[in-house]
């Protein structure tokens, strides 16, 4: 059987993704009830290549492997031959000889695809400049835990048409919900990714209008990793796109707020938004652990009911 990778949400079928969300909730409940007694990965190893910073992604993957009875290796380009120019494909072939799966956080999505094409073990996208699919597993899991099936619901993305926005677009396709995107002009998502989502996704310019009656609101930093020099210009462009309690008041009465974190209070969110009961961001962050356990289990062991 061909090796399955998880480079975007489109690598799994809608049915497989729905299964993963259900499975993540089951794994989470099992951990709460019985502690880390489910250890299907005895002696299995996940290599984790980080070319960008991380708190949640590193800790959740490393903890997932430890609790599953396996092991995770943290690899940074500073300390490996990747940083000294060893070709990506050669690294993929070498790691495939030793480990059971590879997780990569990097800049270029094409570079990740090159790695995956040469790898004979599953490769997981832990964020590229273009996508962050693991975050969406945790986000859809959180939305499902709090409000039931997301099918037919309406989410709103406020802010930059970035990697997270692209993964929200793919999530709307795969989980069958409506997505309104509200970006300042010049910061829209990739037109091809948007076009592929058809009528499930619409672009709006006015945050008040975008949020009206919505079931979920989400945003992200205005300047992503690698865009630090654009911070001042982006602060100007995104003025008026801050998510506040008052903006959320225009959404449905039971609306939720998500943020992948890290958050910049006073920029994309108000100083106090994360204290609002509609914000479920700590549950969302914690769900990275459970959602990625379900993903690793699926990629290494196949569908477990």
What are the catalytic residues? 105, 132, 135, 220, 260, 288
Q: Residue-wise over 112-149: b if at least 16 C-beta within 10 A, else e?
A: bbebbebbebbbbbbbbbbbbbbbbbbbbbbbbbebee
Minimum Å gap between C-beta 57 and ligand CP is 3
Q: From the CB of 109, what's the least distance to ligand CP, in Å?
A: 16
Contact set for ligand NVA, span 249-268 (CB under 6 A): 260
User: Which of residues 23 and 132 has its CB atom nearest to ligand NVA in the complex?
Assistant: 132
**Is residue 242 close enough to count as binding ligand NVA by CB under 6 A?**
no
Chain residues that interact with ligand CP, rule: CB under 6 A: 54-57, 127, 135, 260-261
User: Which stretch in 17-25, 41-49, 147-155, 158-166 sits in contact with ligand NVA by CB under 6 A?
Assistant: 158-166
109 versus 173: smaller Cβ distance to ligand NVA: 109
8 A C-beta contact, residue 123 and residue 7: yes
Residue 225 binds ligand NVA (CB under 6 A): yes
- Residue 115, CA atoms < 13 Å, CB-side half-sphere: 31
Rounded to a whole number of angstroms, the minimum distance from the CB of residue 54 to ligand CP is 3
DSSP state of 50: E
Shortest distance in whole angstroms from residue 139 CB to ligand NVA: 11
- Phi, psi angle pair for 151, to nearest 5°: -55, 130
End-to-end C-alpha distance for the chain, whole angstroms = 20
| Among ligand NVA, ligand CP, none, partner that 102 touches (CB below 5 to 8 angstroms by kind) | none
By CB under 6 A, residue 106 contacts ligand NVA? no
Burial of 63 (0-12, 13-18, 19+ CB in 10 A): middle
- 55 contact choice in ligand NVA, ligand CP, none (CB below 5 to 8 Å, kind-dependent): ligand CP
Q: Is 162 in the site for ligand NVA (CB under 6 A)?
A: yes
Nearer of residues 100 and 129 to ligand NVA, judged by Cβ: 129
Instruction: Select the span of 80-88, 144-152, 161-169, 236-244 touching ligand NVA (CB under 6 A).
Output: 161-169
Nearest approach in angstroms of CB 287 to ligand CP is 11
107, two tokens: 């800049």
**CB distance 6 to 133 below 8 Å:** yes
**183 sits near ligand NVA (criterion: CB under 6 A):** no
**Closer to ligand NVA at the Cβ: 109 or 293?**
109
E-strand ranges in the chain read 45-50, 71-75, 101-105, 123-125, 154-158, 178-182, 201-204, 216-219, 256-259
Q: Are 48 and 58 in contact (CB under 8 A)?
A: yes
Q: Least Å distance between CB 196 and ligand CP?
A: 24
Q: Which is nearer to ligand CP, 72 or 118 (CB)?
A: 72
Q: Residue 251: name the closest of 216, 285, 201 by CA.
A: 216
């Amino acid at each position: 059987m061909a090796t399955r990778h998880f480079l975007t949400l489109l690598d799994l079928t809608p049915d497989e993704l729905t299964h993963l969300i259900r499975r993540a909730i089951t794994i989470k409940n099992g951990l709460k009830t019985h502690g880390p007694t489910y250890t299907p990965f005895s002696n299995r190893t996940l290599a984790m290549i980080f070319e960008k910073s991380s708190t949640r992604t590193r800790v959740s993957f490393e903890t997932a492997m430890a609790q599953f009875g396996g092991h995770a290796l943290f690899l940074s380009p500073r300390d490996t031959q990747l940083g000294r120019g060893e070709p990506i494909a050669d690294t993929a072939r070498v790691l495939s000889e030793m480990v059971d799966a590879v997780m990569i956080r990097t800049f270029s999505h094409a570079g990740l695809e090159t790695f995956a094409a040469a790898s004979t073990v599953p490769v997981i996208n832990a964020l590229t400049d273009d996508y962050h699919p693991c975050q969406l597993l945790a986000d859809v899991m959180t939305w499902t835990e709090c409000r039931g099936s997301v099918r037919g619901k309406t989410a709103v993305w406020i802010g930059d048409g970035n990697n997270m926005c692209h993964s929200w677009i793919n999530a709307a396709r795969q989980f069958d919900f409506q997505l309104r995107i509200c970006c300042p002009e010049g910061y829209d998502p990739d037109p091809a990714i948007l076009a592929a989502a058809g009528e499930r996704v619409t672009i709006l310019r006015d945050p008040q209008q975008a949020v009206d009656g919505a079931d979920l609101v989400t945003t992200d930093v205005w300047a992503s990793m690698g865009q630090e020099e654009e911070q001042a210009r982006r602060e100007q462009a995104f003025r008026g796109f801050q998510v506040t309690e008052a903006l959320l008041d225009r959404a449905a009465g039971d609306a939720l707020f998500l943020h992948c974190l890290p958050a910049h209070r006073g920029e994309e969110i108000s100083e106090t938004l994360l204290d609002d009961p509609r914000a479920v961001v700590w549950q969302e962050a914690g769900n990275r652990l459970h959602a990625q356990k379900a993903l690793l289990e699926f990629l290494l062991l196949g569908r477990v009911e």
